[in-house]
Amino acid sequence: MIKTLLATLGLGFPSIRHPADRGERKSPVVTERERFERDVKDQFLKLKEKGLSIPVFTL
């Protein structure tokens, strides 16, 4: 019981924790890039809803 409590609090015994709770560690740069990409995608979708189309080419 103590082990489960500590694992729930994130203190030791990582093997007891649920796999979905572990998550992955991301650097602040990766987190910021993902947030930026999500924001840009949302902006493009809003423009598309208004009827504006901006072609985007990637190489």
Residue with tokens 């082990």: 3
Structural domain spans, the chain: 23-52
Q: Record the pTM.
A: 0.48
Three-state DSSP class for residue 10: coil
Q: How far apart are CA 31 and CA 43, in angstroms?
A: 19
The half-sphere exposure of 20 on its side-chain side, counting CA atoms within 13 A, is 0
The half-sphere exposure of 3 on its side-chain side, counting CA atoms within 13 A, is 5
pLDDT along the chain (59 residues), means of 10: 72 58 80 95 89 71
Residue 19 Cα distances to 7, 24, 25, angstroms: 12, 10, 14
